[in-house]
């Protein structure tokens, strides 16, 4: 994710918002290394990350919930 972000112009990558999950425990390290402001959403507050929720909703129109997206990503990246 960070590698992809680095390809964006600096003016569009000033901050990043994370879910409040344990997988983002080192968000402070990312902030220091990349010069970004980081924010954590409050639990069960989907409105704090509306863009992400909207994108997920659009994806789920075509990809059912039971589909394992990790397998799909692996399969398409191997092609």
Report which secondary-structure segment, H or E, holds 24.
none
Domain count of the fold of the chain: 1
10: left (phi over 0), alpha (psi -120 to 50) or beta: alpha
28-79 tens-digit pLDDT: 887 788 788 888 888 888 788 888 788 878 887 888 778 887 777 766 655 5
Distance CA 54, CA 41 (A): 16
Q: What is the pTM of this model?
A: 0.53
| Residue 46 belongs to domain spanning | 2-78
Report which secondary-structure segment, H or E, holds 5.
helix 2-6
What does the block give as tokens for 47?
């409105």
């Amino acid at each position: 994710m960070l590698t992809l972000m680095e390809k964006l112009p600096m003016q569009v990558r000033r901050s990043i918002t994370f879910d409040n999950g344990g997988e983002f425990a080192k968000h402070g390290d990312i902030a220091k290394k990349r010069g970004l402001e980081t924010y954590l959403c409050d639990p069960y507050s989907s409105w704090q990350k509306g863009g992400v929720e909207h994108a997920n909703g659009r994806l789920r129109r075509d990809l059912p919930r039971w589909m394992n997206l990790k397998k799909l990503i692996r399969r398409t990246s191997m092609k």
